[in-house]
Copies of this chain bind each other. A is one copy, B any other.
């Protein structure tokens, strides 16, 4: 699932030159673009995302799963802003000799997910991509005006929460995860969520985006990180590229929600969540700090963390 080298650097170079207009509330750099199209009570969310054969899925994926994932990814970005998806367009780039029944199954998976979340599939386009299947899905959604939850907004002292369990998504979950739309809307409706992001690049990587957007740092508690069963199994079998904790910190495509709230809201939020979503784990994994950087506290002390693991001992 690795993207081209320098992707983030490339985006940083391209973003300042992008044209804007009066509709743009939030342009490039958040989970979705936020647009004020003149609706009295709502902003519009706009997002596009692609899945590519051999990059985001392989030959073992069923076509229904490919269609599901192609739509579920941008829906997860709509969730990350506490939005409600409304419609989608599908661009299907196909090898020249394609199997119609296969494509119908791709759409069946996509349509089932769309229908479950009230999303209209309002068109699409078919083009050629000779070597491999690529699906690009564009999604429109809504969020209450002034209520989009952004990456920026984390405050020192905030409690940091994550939904679900992390790591090992490539064992299967990346193909059939359900975007956390209902959970995110419930959170934003009931609590002042300071910042939120969905986990696509791994906890450590996406947390860094949230910290950079807010100009803050964070301290995680190692024993609180919710490690998935798949990550533990891969680690035991020697397929996780390190420990299960390392997998939970760095594996991509969890598509869980990472968010922060003021510390005084944390216990009330956790209790209300368990009442409302008893089957979805919610874990407080640490706190936001004024000091920049990402640190992990374990039994041996406090360590600075990079995308690839521990860097150096920080303090005891």
Q: Are the C-beta atoms of A6 and B100 separated by less than 8 Å?
A: yes
A96 to chain B, nearest CB (A): 6
Given contacts A122-B28, A132-B131, contact A89 B138 (CB under 8 A): yes
Interface SS, A side? mixed
Residue A21 at the B interface, CB < 8 A?
Answer: yes
Bound-complex Cα distance A17 to B118 (A): 14
Q: Which residues, 1 to 58 on A, are CB-close (under 8 Å) to B? A: 2-7, 9-11, 13-14, 17-21, 23-24, 26-30, 32-33, 35, 37-39, 42, 44, 46-50, 52, 54-56
A253 to chain B, nearest CB (A): 13
A85 to chain B, nearest CB (A): 10
Q: Which residues, 70 to 86 on A, are CB-close (under 8 Å) to B? A: 86
Q: Are the C-beta atoms of A4 and B111 separated by less than 8 Å?
A: no
Bound-complex Cα distance A32 to B87 (A): 13
Q: Are the C-beta atoms of A122 and B49 separated by less than 8 Å?
A: no
Q: Are the C-beta atoms of B96 and A4 separated by less than 8 Å?
A: yes
Given contacts A18-B121, A19-B111, A50-B93, contact A35 B134 (CB under 8 A): no
Q: How many copies does the complex hold?
A: 2
Q: Are the C-beta atoms of B19 and A128 separated by less than 8 Å?
A: no
Chain A contributes a number of interface residues (CB within 8 A of B) equal to 79
Q: Which residues, 84 to 107 on A, are CB-close (under 8 Å) to B? A: 86-87, 89-91, 93-98, 100, 103-104, 107
Q: Which residues, 291 to 307 on A, are CB-close (under 8 Å) to B? A: none
Q: Which of A4, A26, A126 is most buried by chain B, counting CB atoms within 10 A of its CB?
A: A4
Question: When the two chains form the complex, which single residue of B37, B55, B120, B138 contacts A20, counting CB atoms closer than 8 Å?
Answer: B120
Quick one: closest B residue to A14, CB to CB? B107
Q: Are the C-beta atoms of B107 and A27 separated by less than 8 Å?
A: no
Q: Are the C-beta atoms of B50 and A91 separated by less than 8 Å?
A: yes
A118 to chain B, nearest CB (A): 6
Which B residues touch A94, using CB under 8 A? 4
Quick one: closest B residue to A117, CB to CB? B19
Residue A130 at the B interface, CB < 8 A?
Answer: yes
Residue A278 at the B interface, CB < 8 A?
Answer: no
Bound-complex Cα distance A25 to B242 (A): 52
Q: Are the C-beta atoms of A100 and B10 separated by less than 8 Å?
A: yes
Q: Are the C-beta atoms of A28 and B124 separated by less than 8 Å?
A: yes
Residue A123 at the B interface, CB < 8 A?
Answer: yes
Residue A59 at the B interface, CB < 8 A?
Answer: no
Q: Are the C-beta atoms of B123 and A28 separated by less than 8 Å?
A: yes
Task: List the 9 closest pairs (A to B, CB-CB), nearest first.
Answer: A138-B138, A33-B122, A28-B123, A136-B136, A18-B121, A19-B115, A21-B120, A48-B89, A131-B131
